[in-house]
Structure 1
Amino acid sequence: MKEYIVDNKNKMRYHDLPGEDTPILFIHGLGCAGSFDYPEVAAQSDLIKHRRILVDLLGSGFSDKPDNYKYTVKEHANYLYNFVQDLKLNKFIIFGHSLGGAIALELADKCKDNIETIILSEANLDKSSKGSSSYEIGSYTEEDFVNSIFDEIINENAHESSMWIASLAVCSSTAISRISKSAVLGGETSWREILYSLNLQKTFIFGEKSLPDNDEIELRKHGINIEIVEGAGHSMAWENPKGLAKAIKKGILYARGL
């Protein structure tokens, strides 16, 4: 892995896989990590020619987990903006999954001129609502979540959602609480509004098992390309990595008019 220093101190760690085609920046969702979610997706033949950058956001995976960091959607987008500037990514593709989609949108809004396309998979477009993991987590006080609820979630779901729990277990409980509260509050400008305002071709990916979803119709109305990953639900990177890679590539080709 490689390291990027955030705020002159904390280190975000990431994989930077070589390729001649436009770089793709992968931004993972709540309780996940790029190093855990996307190696198999990035290795698929559809994406192998692209440079692929798989980040572990601060508080997740192999990256540092400082307790004094804010961990809001906006703060993640801010240091990722500095990251892509320092990598001199003059043109790149953003992929964001779930709550990582909200971070992807805020990042895209900060560097519109450098984005070839943005591809989202079941991303948060609105503030979190009842029933979502981020809403449930964000409803607890940080103290209660860190001191007891986090461990309860790990223990109670270890078998039913073993992949997500394996990834969640190595995250900072503080980071998970704070970004969940950020998701409940929503963005200063709604993430949906940012998506609609971006003057570029956009793709939104659903897992087949997540459908029907009212947003499929709504997003099509706004000219957003829809792709569907067969045999998968929300956790499509694990359930069908080949299908997700194919959907991402189709989104890239759509943006190129191919």
Structure 2
Amino acid sequence: MKQYKLKNGFCVRYQDLPGERTPLVFLHGLGCASSFEYPAVMAEPALNGRRAILIDLLGAGYSDKPQDFGYSVEEQAANLVEMLSGLHLTELVLFGHSLGGAVAITLATLMQDNIRCLILTESNLDPSPVGATSRKIGSQSENAFLSHGYADLLSRAQKRNPLWGATLASWLPEAAWRISRSAVRGGTPSWRDQLYALPMPRAFIFGALSLPDEDEEVLRQHGIRVDVIPDAGHSMALENPKSLAETIASILNDCRLGN
């Protein structure tokens, strides 16, 4: 585990898995941690020898959890611009999952000259819809979520989805609420419009259990490669890491960034 100290004094912690070629930078979703989800993906033969940087966003996983930080998608992306620039990563492949996908889209917009390829797994593109976990969190007041909402969410997660519950337990509750409020607001311009405008190759991955989804065709119409991971839903990195790794490798080959 390594750390990068931001100018604001907070430390973002990450794993830097050694390898060759353009590094693959992973950003996790709400309640998740890259340090938990993506080592198994990178251990698959399809990605053997590829350098990867697995980042735990501020407020999550092993990274610092300051209570006086805003935790919006835009603030997380600004942190990462500083961090990746400080690490002298002039060329990279960016991977973002779910709400981490919104962070990745925002980051790619800010660092267009450095991102060789953008890979998203069931990323937020629009303000969180009714039924989404971030909508359920962000629709509460911060005080209500901190007083009982987080504990209720964690209890349900640990019973129904224990792997997600394990990483959710590592989150600062304020961070979960504030980034969820950011998800409810959406981006300006929208993350969808930002994605459509990006110049680098882009790919969007669904879990088969999440389909049907009208975006499967809409994204293709906007020049975005679409892939589907079999035997997996939203948590595809945990449910089918082998197929996810093989799909990432295929995307990299299409972008002429393959092993």
Settle same-fold status: TM greater than 0.5. yes
Alpha-carbon deviations, 1:115-142, whole Å to 9, x = none? 1100000000111111100011000000
**Identity across matched positions, percent:** 47
Partner Cα separation in structure 2 for residue 153 and residue 15 of structure 1: 28
Partner Cα separation in structure 2 for residue 225 and residue 57 of structure 1: 26
SS at match of 1:159: helix
Tell me, yes or no, if the aligned pair for 1:3 and 1:12 is still in contact at 8 Å: yes
Question: What amino acid sits opposite 1:171 in the alignment?
Answer: W
Q: TM-score, normalised by structure 1?
A: 0.98
Who is 1:245 aligned against?
245
Partner Cα separation in structure 2 for residue 41 and residue 76 of structure 1: 24
The reply on whether 1:90 has 2:90 as its aligned counterpart is yes
Who is 1:172 aligned against?
172
Tell me, yes or no, if the aligned pair for 1:60 and 1:172 is still in contact at 8 Å: yes
Tell me, yes or no, if the aligned pair for 2:22 and 2:257 is still in contact at 8 Å: no
Question: What amino acid sits opposite 1:34 in the alignment?
Answer: S
Who is 2:209 aligned against?
209
Who is 1:77 aligned against?
77
SS at match of 1:84: helix
Who is 1:5 aligned against?
5
SS at match of 1:113: coil
Question: What amino acid sits opposite 1:42 in the alignment?
Answer: M
Question: What amino acid sits opposite 2:30 in the alignment?
Answer: L
Tell me, yes or no, if the aligned pair for 2:61 and 2:171 is still in contact at 8 Å: yes
Alpha-carbon deviations, 1:216-244, whole Å to 9, x = none? 01001111111111100000010001111
Question: What amino acid sits opposite 1:46 in the alignment?
Answer: A
Q: What 5-or-longer segments of structure 2 have no aligned partner?
A: none
Q: Tell me by how many angstroms 1:257 deviates.
A: 8.9
Partner Cα separation in structure 2 for residue 83 and residue 67 of structure 1: 20
Partner Cα separation in structure 2 for residue 139 and residue 249 of structure 1: 38
Who is 2:46 aligned against?
46
Alpha-carbon deviations, 1:65-107, whole Å to 9, x = none? 0000000000000010111111111110000000000000000
Question: What amino acid sits opposite 2:208 in the alignment?
Answer: E
Q: Tell me by how many angstroms 1:206 deviates.
A: 0.5
Who is 2:236 aligned against?
236
The 5 A counterparts of 1:108-257 are 108-256=108-256
Who is 1:21 aligned against?
21
Q: What 5-or-longer segments of structure 1 have no aligned partner?
A: none
How many residues are matched? 258
Question: What amino acid sits opposite 2:139 in the alignment?
Answer: S
SS at match of 1:223: coil
SS at match of 2:204: strand
Question: What amino acid sits opposite 1:67 in the alignment?
Answer: Q
Q: TM-score, normalised by structure 2?
A: 0.97
- Of the structure 1 ranges 197-206 and 93-102, higher mean CA displacement relative to structure 2 is found in 197-206
Partner Cα separation in structure 2 for residue 11 and residue 33 of structure 1: 15
SS at match of 1:46: helix
